[in-house]
Structure 1
Amino acid sequence: MTDRPSEQDRGFDPALARGLLSRRGMLAGIGATGLASLLAACGTKGTATKANPSSQAAQDRSDTEKVLSWSNWPEYIDVDDKTKTHPTLAAFTKQTGIKVTYTEDYNDNDEFFAKVQPQLRAGADTGRDVWCSTDWMVAKLIRLNWVQKLDKANIPNAKNVQDTLANVEFDPGRQFSLPWQSGFTGIGYNPKATGGKKIETLDQLFTDKALKGKVTLLTEMRDTVGMTLLAMGKDPAKFTDADFDAAIKQLTEVKNSGQLKGFTGNEYGKGLASGDIAACLAWTGDVVQLQADNPALGYTLPSTGHMIWSDNFVIPNRAKHKKNAEILFNYYYDPKVMAQVVDYVNYISVVKGAEQILVADDPDVAKNPLIFPSEEVLGRAHVFRGLTEAEETKYNKAFQALTTGG
C-alpha cells in the first residue's frame, strides 16, 4: 500500500479531517472480524518449490552492524512535520541502537519488482533488508523463493497481529510475511478541477467530458480492473476470463477516447492537489494526507463497491541484517507503537489493541468510518481473487498492453 477526504463531499463530518494523515484504518468493534477476513483472502495462488535456506540467507551481520535498510511506499509512516523525521523510527533507534535507513522508493509493486528482480534472480543482495509489498506480490515472491522465512523467536509481538490475518491464503501461518497496513481503493477528486462536481462513480470517471484528459487510473492491475469489474456488476473475487476481457475492453475504450491522462502509482498525489488531475482512482490514506493542506479534496467509495488490500513486511534473500529487520517488526507490533503510526497514516491497523489506544488518545480518528469502517462500508469492500501463475501472466500481459500501449 498506503491506506481523509473532503469529508463533506463524501458525506462524512469535516471535523474528522484533523486526525487523518496517510497512505494505505483500524480493525475495531463489530467490523474488525469482517474486514480482517476479507484481507485474509487476498493473494495469488500457486505453491513455491522447496526453498534452500542456505541459498537464500547471507551471513547475518545484525549482531555487529546495528543498521537496517527499509524500502516503503511514500507517506506510509508517522512524520514530525517540523523536523521531517519519523518519531517511531527515532524511538526504535534509541531503544535498540539500530539505525534505520528509510527510503520511500516503493511507488508501484511491478515497478519495484523490476528494480530488485535482477539481484534476486542472480542470488545477490538487493541492498535492502526489508520492504512492504501488497498481498499478491508477496505471493509471487514466496512462489519464486525470493523472500526468507521469518524467525518468530525474534518477533514475540507477532502474537498481536489480528487473529484473522495470522493465517492467510498467500502465506499460511505467516511464515514469510507480516502485515504492515491495510486500506481501501476508491475515487479521489479535486472540486476546482471538476467544476465543483462530486465524482462518485466510475461511469463519471470514464465518460464525463468535463474530466477529459484529467483522469488517472492506477498501475496496480488488481485495483483498476477490480474497480472496473465492480462497476460492471461483477465480483472481483469470482470473475471469469470473459469478465476480465470485458473489463480490459472497456478500459481500452476509455483510454482511446482521450479521457485518461494516464496510469500512475503512488505519485498521483501532486497532480490531484494541483488540479492537473481532476479525478483518479486513489488509496484512502493518500487523499487524507493531501487534505491536511487542501481540505477541499474529495474522496468517494462508490456505491458499486471498492477494493481492499494489505501491504506486508518481507525480508528479501541475501539481506545482511535479517535479525535487525525482525526486531523492527517486533517493535511495530507493540500496540502503542502501531497506534502512533495509524494516528498519522490513517490506514487500517492490523495490530490488536492499537484501536483502544487510539480511542483514548485521538477520539476524532476513532470516529472516522475509513479507519473504523462501518458494516455498510465493509459490505461493499472486495478483494481480487487469487490467481494461478498462468492467469497472473496472462492478465498482467493484457493490462501492461493497456497501460503502456505495447
Structure 2
Amino acid sequence: MTTNNSHEEIQSTLKDIVSAKVSRRGVFAGIGGLSAAALLASCGSGGSSGGENGALRWGNWPLYLDFDEKTKKYPTLEAFSKKFGIETKYFEDYNDNDEFFGKVQAQLKLKKDIGYDVVTPTDWMAARWIRLGYTQKFDSANIPNASNILDTLASPSYDPKREQTLTWQGIMGGFGWNTAKNPKGVRTLEDLFSPQNKGKIVVLSEMRDTIGIILQAQGVDITKVTEDQFMNAVDFMAGKISDGWIRGVKGNEYAEDLTSGDATAVIGWSGDMFILASENEGKFDFTIPESGGTISGDNFVIPYTATAEAKKNAEKMINYYY
C-alpha cells in the first residue's frame, strides 16, 4: 500500500481489507482478541513430508521461541527432540493469520498434506479452523500437562473444553518505538503520530489490533462498537496513510522495518517488541496505550491432515511445553 494513492482509493482498499478480516456487525465481539475478557483497558514454508515418513513440523510466528545465535538452534526444541527421539522442523512461516491460512486453505479443502503437523493461529483464526472442520481433537491422555493452563484461558467460546486448541503464547497489542527517535516514549495515538515519526510508522494488518487501538483512542468501548464508529476509525487510518504518516500495513514484517530504521514507531505486539529490545540493548520499547490495548492468544492446533503418528508426536511436544 503506497502513500501516493488518492485518499478515496486508500479508503476503499482499507474497507475491503477490514471487511474481509472483521465483520462490521460483530466487529470485536467474541474474537478472542478484543472481547470484554480479552481487553487490556487503560493501564517461510513448511516441509513436504511428515508423520511416519519425516520430522514433526511446526509452523509458528517469528521471534516466538528461544533461539541461540551461536548455534542457530532452538534450545528447548532441541531438548525435546533429544528427550523423546523425535526429529523436529521449525518454520517461522506466520506473518499474518489470513496470509498463512490462504497459503494452506486449498490443501486443507482437498484433505492433502499442508506441510505442517502443528500450526499456531490466533484465537479468532483458530475458531475458523475449528468451524471449518480442519482440526483434530487432542487425545487428552497424551497431554496431561494441559491442566496447567490458566483459568482465564481454559474455556474460550470457540473451544470451551480445550479439545482442539491450547494456548501457546499470549499477545498484547500496543505501541512499539525506537527509543532514540522517541525518547519520551509513545503512550497515546498523538504520540504515535508525532512529527519525528511521519512516514516511518507501520501498523498491523491484523485489523482487530490496529482498529481496536484506534477505536479506544477515540473513546469507543470496543465491546459495543457501532458501524459508524468502526468506519470512523477506518477513515482515520486511511487519512494517515494518504497523508504520508503510515508507511506500511504489515504482519510480523514490521519488526524488520524497526531494526532497519525504516520504521521508528509501530502498532505492534508485545512479544516481538520485548525480544527486539533484549536483542538490541534497549533500542526499542513497548507499552499498552493509555486509552487501552488488545490481548489475545496464539494456539497450538493439529490440522486434520496430520498423520496419526504426527498427531501423537505433536501432542508430546505440546505436553512438553506445558
Distance across 2 between alignment mates of 1:266 and 1:149: 29
**Distance between the aligned counterparts of 2:84 and 2:66, measured in 1?**
19
Structure 1 residue 296, shift from structure 2 partner: 2.9
Instruction: Give the corresponding residue for 1:319.
Output: 306
Instruction: Name the residue aligned to 1:90.
Output: 78
The 3-state SS of whatever aligns with 2:88 is: strand
Q: Which residues of structure 2 form unaligned runs of 5+?
A: 1-31, 40-49
| Structure 1 residues 122-163: Cα deviation after superposition (integer angstroms, max 9, x where no partner) | 221101100111000001111111111111121111111112
Give the one of 156, 164, 171 matched to 1:176: 164
Q: Are 1:299 and 2:298 matched, yes or no?
A: no
1:233 and 1:304 in contact (8 A); partners too: yes
The residue that corresponds to 1:271 in the other structure is 257
Distance 1:199 1:39 in 2: 24
Following the alignment from structure 1 to structure 2, what is the Cα–Cα distance between the partners of residues 139 and 176? 10
CA distance in 2, matches of 1:157, 1:39: 27
The reply to whether residue 255 of structure 1 matches residue 241 of structure 2 is: yes
Q: Does 1:111 align with 2:99?
A: yes
Identify the range of structure 1 (254-263 vs 236-245) with the bigger mean alpha-carbon deviation.
236-245
SS across alignment from 1:216? strand
Q: 1:67–1:324: 8 Å Cα contact kept in structure 2?
A: no
Query: What is the TM-score normalised by the length of structure 1?
Result: 0.65
Whether the aligned pair in 2 keeps the contact of 1:199 and 1:205 (CA below 8 Å) is: yes
Structure 1's unaligned 5+ residue stretches are 1-35, 44-60, 334-406
- CA 1:304–1:106: 2 relative to 1, 3 Å: same
Distance of 2:241 and 2:297 partners within structure 1: 28
Q: Indicate the residue corresponding to 1:166 in structure 2.
A: 154
> Which residue number corresponds to residue 79 of structure 1?
67
Deviation at 1:322, TM superposition (A): 1.1
The 5-angstrom pairing of residues 243-392 of structure 1 reads 243-291=229-277, 292-320=279-307, 321-333=310-322
Contact 1:130/1:316 (8 A) holds in 2? yes
Distance 1:217 1:150 in 2: 35
Could you say which residue in structure 2 is the equivalent of 1:378?
Answer: none
Shift of 1:65: 4.9
Q: Which amino acid aligns with 1:269?
A: A
Q: Is the 8 A contact 2:35 2:223 kept in 1?
A: no
Q: Any idea what the Cα deviations from partners look like across 1:328-365, whole Å, max 9, x if unmatched?
A: 111111xxxxxxxxxxxxxxxxxxxxxxxxxxxxxxxx
- Please report how far the alpha carbon of residue 225 of structure 1 lies from its aligned counterpart in structure 2 after TM superposition: 0.8
Match of 2:113 in 1: 125
**Aligned residue identity for 1:326:** E
Separation (CA, whole Å) in 1 of partners of 2:36 and 2:65: 23
* Cα contact 1:125–1:317 (8 A) shared by 2: no
**Identity between Structure 1 and Structure 2 (%):** 47
Q: Which residues of 2 match residues 124-163 of structure 1 at below 5 A?
A: 124-163=112-151
Alignment partner, residue 198 of structure 1? 185
Distance, in Å, in 1 between the alignment partners of 2:179 and 2:75 is: 34
Using the alignment, how far apart are the partners of 1:168 and 1:124 within structure 2? 29
- Cα distance in 2 for partners of 1:249, 1:260 equals 13
SS in 2 for 1:132: coil
What is the alpha-carbon distance in structure 1 between the residues aligned to residue 255 and residue 149 of structure 2? 30
Q: Quick one: which amino acid aligns to residue 187 of structure 2? A: E
State whether residues 175 and 266 of structure 2, in contact with CA within 8 Å, keep that contact through their aligned partners in structure 1. Answer: yes
2:212–2:222 CA contact under 8 A, matched in 1: yes
Q: State the 1:41 CA deviation.
A: 4.3
Asked whether the equivalents of residues 40 and 165 of structure 1 are also in contact (C-alpha less than 8 Å), the reply is no
Counterpart residue type for residue 296 of structure 1: K
Q: Secondary structure at the match of 1:276?
A: coil
Rounded to whole Å, the distance in 1 between the matches of 2:71 and 2:189 is 39
Q: How far 1:66 sits from its partner (Å)? A: 6.6
How far residue 39 of structure 1 moved from its aligned partner, in angstroms, is 8.4
The one-letter code of the counterpart of 1:108 is D
Q: How far off its partner does 1:242 sit?
A: 2.1
2-structure distance, mates of 1:89, 1:66: 16
Contact persistence 2:186–2:287 (CA under 8 A): yes
In 2: Cα distance, 1:65 partner to 1:184 partner: 38
Using the alignment, how far apart are the partners of 2:263 and 2:107 within structure 1? 35
Aligned equivalent of 1:220 = 206
**Is contact 2:274-2:285 (8 Å) kept?**
no
In the alignment, the residues of structure 1 paired with residue 304 and residue 37 of structure 2 have an alpha-carbon distance, to the nearest angstrom, of 25
Residue identity matched to 1:310: G
User: Equivalents in 2 of 1:313, 1:108: separation in Å?
Assistant: 16
How far off is 1:175 after superposition? 1.4
Indicate if the aligned counterparts of 1:177 and 1:313 stay in contact, CA closer than 8 A: yes
**Paired residues, what number?**
278
| In structure 1, C-alpha distance between the alignment counterparts of 2:245 and 2:210, rounded to whole Å | 15
